Chains A and B, each alone.
Chain A
Amino acid sequence: DSGVTQTPKHLITATGQRVTLRCSPRSGDLSVYWYQQSLDQGLQFLIQYYNGEERAKGNILERFSAQQFPDLHSELNLSSLELGDSALYFCASSVGASGAMNTEAFFGQGTRLTVV
């Protein structure tokens, strides 16, 4: 158990809909990262938050957004869903921000999103 909690574990929704994925980081971790992993694809970095502020953006679509709340949990919002958005979405957390030593990221078990 990595200490990172993601909910829900599975989500099935229709095209055009909007969903919210939730992540609770490990106790004491200030950074939260969101990744997308499609079938047989590598991990694609979406976005990072550090202590409530956006720190870095990766290949995140405009239809997707995220935020980190004062209690450090984070939510990833996916809207106008398309079939191609079906994937595993992982949240990871680390103690420091990127560039700091000891920034090993610990991953949650993921949310499997299926868009039908």
Chain B
Amino acid sequence: EDQVTQSPEALRLQEGESSSLNCSYTVSGLRGLFWYRQDPGKGPEFLFTLYSAGEEKEKERLKATLTKKESFLHITAPKPEDSATYLCAVQAAGSNYQLIWGAGTKLIIKP
């Protein structure tokens, strides 16, 4: 069965303290891995798509990487406005290409 697991469930950091969020997946026929950011009561906001192992993408303080088993979302020198829940989703042939979502990592950046 296709699965996506995100860790940790929650992460508290001081402003400026860099860290990484993990998204591990077990799927057959990976087509793409997506990262989204969700603020409370709002719709998820698209961040990145990664298609193949070794691929990296960056946006401001965020950098997403992909291996054959997992993806990391690295956040460098975060600011309080980076606080949000970060969601990972996988699109795979085994699930008829429907997105399989992780439960998310709630990131809190303290000033």
Instruction: Say yes or no: A42 contacts B101, CB within 8 Å.
Output: yes
Docked pose: A105 CA to B90 CA in angstroms: 12
Contacts of B104 in A (CB 8 A): 42
Q: Are A110 and B101 also in contact (CB < 8 A) when A56-B96, A105-B46 are?
A: no
Q: Are A56 and B98 also in contact (CB < 8 A) when A42-B104, A104-B49 are?
A: yes
Task: Report which of B49, B96, B101 forms a contact with A98, defined as CB distance below 8 A.
Answer: B96
Docked pose: A113 CA to B15 CA in angstroms: 35
> Closest approach, in angstroms, between the C-beta of A80 and any C-beta of chain B?
26
Q: Are A45 and B98 also in contact (CB < 8 A) when A99-B31, A105-B46, A106-B46 are?
A: yes
Q: At the interface with chain A, which of B16-24, B37-45, B55-63?
A: B37-45
Contacting residues of chain A (83-103) with chain B, CB-CB under 8 angstroms:
88, 90, 92, 98-99, 101-103
Instruction: Say yes or no: A109 contacts B97, CB within 8 Å.
Output: no
- Interface size range of chain B in the complex: 20 to 34
Docked pose: A56 CA to B97 CA in angstroms: 10
Contacting residues of chain B (42-94) with chain A, CB-CB under 8 angstroms:
42-46, 49, 51, 87, 91, 93
A98 and chain B: residue at smallest CB distance: B97
Q: Are A110 and B91 also in contact (CB < 8 A) when A42-B104, A56-B98 are?
A: no
Task: Say yes or no: is A2 at the interface (Cβ < 8 Å to chain B).
Answer: yes
A4 and chain B: residue at smallest CB distance: B43
Task: Say yes or no: is B25 at the interface (Cβ < 8 Å to chain A).
Answer: no
> Closest approach, in angstroms, between the C-beta of B39 and any C-beta of chain A?
10
Docked pose: A96 CA to B91 CA in angstroms: 13
Q: Looking at B34, B44, B93, B101, which has the most chain A CB atoms within 10 Å of its CB?
A: B44
Contacts of A42 in B (CB 8 A): 87, 101-104
What residues of chain B have their CB less than 8 Å away from a CB belonging to chain A? 31-32, 34, 36, 41-46, 49, 51, 87, 91, 93, 96-99, 101-104
Could you pull out 12 A-B pairs where Cβ atoms are within 8 angstroms?
Answer: A2-B46, A42-B104, A43-B44, A43-B87, A43-B101, A45-B98, A58-B98, A92-B43, A107-B36, A107-B43, A110-B43, A112-B41
What residues of chain A have their CB less than 8 Å away from a CB belonging to chain B? 2, 4, 42-43, 45, 48, 56, 58, 88, 90, 92, 98-99, 101-110, 112
